[in-house]
Amino acid sequence: MPTKFPTIAIVGSGPSGCYVTQFLNKKWPESQITIFEALPVPYGLVRYGVAADHQGSKAVTQQFERLLEKETIEFRGNVAVGRDISFVKLTDAYDVVVLATGLNYDATLSIPLAPAAQIIGAGALLKALNGHPEANLPVDANGEIRRLGKHIAVIGSGNVAIDALRMIAKTDDALAGSDISDEIRTKIDTAGVSNITLISRSSADEAKCDDSMMAELIALPNVNVSVKGLRETDVGTIAQMLRKAQAADKAETEAQVSLKFIFNEVPQSISYVEGFGTELISHSKNTDSESSRIFDSIITAIGFTNSAESNQIIPQENFEGDSIYRVGWLRRGANGTVAENRKDAKAVTTQIIEDFESGKIKAVKLGLASVVRDLPVNHVTYEGWKRIDHYEQASAKSSRCRQKVPDLLMMLRIAHGQHAMS
C-alpha cells in the first residue's frame, strides 16, 4: 500500500472536474490537486451551459467554492492546455491527469446548409445568454450580432432545445433573479420574436427532454401552444401535456409568442432565399411528404462535439495511459445532467484510487511546483476569481443575481486588481 499521495491535475473546472476533485480530496486530503481552466473563471457548464433562469441547478457552485478554498487545492485559470502549457509537460509534472474539458461545440446538421442561412447552435446561444466571452453568434457585415427575427425554428427536442426556447420566449419580468445577459437579449432582440417552431425528428413519446422541462415551457403565460405530427399511439406524459396545452388556447392579449411543435419531421436541407430568409426543407415521416418553411433564424440543438483544434491539442491517443483519465461528457458523450456527471466522476475516482492502491500509479512527481513558472504571468488564482465574483454580484441590477463580465481582458484586469468598481 503506497504511503505517499499522488499529485493530481484536473483539466477543466466544470461539474465533472470539480466532482472528481471533491472525491479525490475526500480520499486523500493531503494530495496536491491543481485545477486548470482555459477561462479566467471556474465552473464551466454550470456557469455557462445551465440556463440562466435555473439558479437552483447553478447553486451547486456553492459546494465547489468551499472545495476551492482548501489549502491543498489550487485553481489556475486563464491557462489553456496546448496553448499555455503542453499536454506532455502536464503529464510529466503530475502523477495523475484527469481530462474534464467537456464537449464545447454544437454538432452540425449532416444536410446541405447554405452559407448565407442564419443557423445558430443552441449551445452557442445559451452561452451568449449566460455571458460567455467567446460565444459564437452570427454577425452582420459590421461585426454586430444579428437579431433572431420574428420567426424562428428550433431543431431538436432535448433539454437544450427546450432551454433555448424558454430563454427566448420568457419576458423580462419572468427572468427576475437570473444571471442572464441583458446585453445579449437586447442584441438578438428576444422581445421581437413572435413565432417559434420546434421541429423534432422523433415522435413526442421519443422526445429526449425531461417531462419537467416541457411542463415549465408550456406553462409560460405568454406562449400559445399548437402541435402537429402527434400520433394516436403517442400516449406518454409529454404528448398528453401538449394536447392539454393546445386545447387550452390562451387569448391573444395574453399570449405574445406562438409556440408550435412539429414531430416526426426530418430536416432535408437549409438554404437562403434572398429577400425572404432562411428556408428549411423537411420530410414528414407521418405523411411521407416534404414541406418548405421560411424562418428568420434556425437554431440547432442536436448535441455537442469537440473541435478539430481541440483534438490536435490533446489527440485521442493521448487519452490512453496508466495515469490519464477522462470524465464527464468527454468520456461518455454530451448527455446527462449535473447529477449524472457526479455519478460519472465518482466512477472515475474509484478507478483512480484502485489504480494507485494496486501500484499502477506511483506518487513520484512534484505537481504544480514543477510547472508554475511555465504558466502565463496573467494566470488567475482562486483569489483572482473571487475578485471577479464580487464584481459581478455587486454590478447586478436589482432583478438579476449577477451581471457576468463578458470580456476576457476586463476579467483579467479585475482578477489582478487593475479595475475598480465604477
Q: Are 197 and 221 in contact (CB under 8 A)?
A: no
Question: Is 310's pLDDT higher than 70?
Answer: no
Predicted pLDDT of residue 317: 46
Percent of the chain whose predicted confidence (pLDDT) is above 90: 87
End-to-end Cα separation, the chain, in angstroms? 56
Model pLDDT for residues 206-226, shown as the tens digit of each residue: 999 999 999 999 999 999 999
Would you tell me how many other CB atoms lie within 10 Å of the CB of residue 169?
19
Give the span between the Cα atoms of 422 and 420, in whole angstroms: 6
Question: Is 351's pLDDT higher than 60?
Answer: yes
Report DSSP letters for 324-343, one per residue.
EEE-THHHH-S---HHHHHH
| Residues of each domain in the chain carrying CATH 3.50.50.60 | 106-304
For 42-53, b/e burial (b = at least 16 CB within 10 A) is bbbbbbbbbbbb
Class of domain 106-304: alpha beta
Predicted pLDDT of residue 246: 93
Q: What is the mean pLDDT of the chain?
A: 93
Predicted pLDDT of residue 340: 86
| Residues of each domain in the chain carrying CATH 3.40.50.720 | 8-104+306-380
Question: Is 406's pLDDT higher than 50?
Answer: yes
Residue 149's closest CA among 210, 191, 105, 98? 191
* E strand or H helix that includes residue 111: none
Average pLDDT over residues 391-405: 97
Average pLDDT over residues 39-53: 96
C-alpha cell recorded at residue 187: 442584441
* E strand or H helix that includes residue 15: helix 15-27
What Å distances lie between residue 99 and 21, 28, 319, 352, CA to CA? 12, 19, 8, 13
Would you tell me how many other CB atoms lie within 10 Å of the CB of residue 380?
25
Class of domain 8-104+306-380: alpha beta
- Neighbouring C-alpha atoms within 13 Å toward the C-beta of 172: 12
Question: Is 385's pLDDT higher than 60?
Answer: yes
Model pLDDT for residues 106-161, shown as the tens digit of each residue: 999 999 999 999 999 999 999 999 999 998 899 999 999 999 999 999 999 999 99
pLDDT tier at 318 (50, 70, 90 boundaries)? low
What's the whole-model pTM score?
0.93
pLDDT tier at 306 (50, 70, 90 boundaries)? confident
Average pLDDT over residues 43-58: 96
Average pLDDT over residues 165-174: 97
Predicted pLDDT of residue 73: 98
* Neighbour-count burial of 72, counting CB atoms closer than 10 A to its CB (0-12 exposed, 13-18 middle, 19+ buried): middle
Cβ contacts of 56 within 8 Å, gap of 6 or more: none
* Neighbour-count burial of 291, counting CB atoms closer than 10 A to its CB (0-12 exposed, 13-18 middle, 19+ buried): middle
pLDDT tier at 311 (50, 70, 90 boundaries)? low
Counting other chains too, the contacts that 353-361 makes at CB distance below 8 Å and 24 or more residues apart are 353/24, 353/27, 355/322, 355/323, 356/2, 356/6, 356/96, 357/1, 357/2, 359/2, 360/322, 361/6, 361/95, 361/96, 361/322, 361/323
Average pLDDT over residues 25-32: 97
Predicted pLDDT of residue 6: 97
Predicted pLDDT of residue 1: 47
Q: Are strands 257-262 and 265-273 parallel, antiparallel or unpaired?
A: unpaired
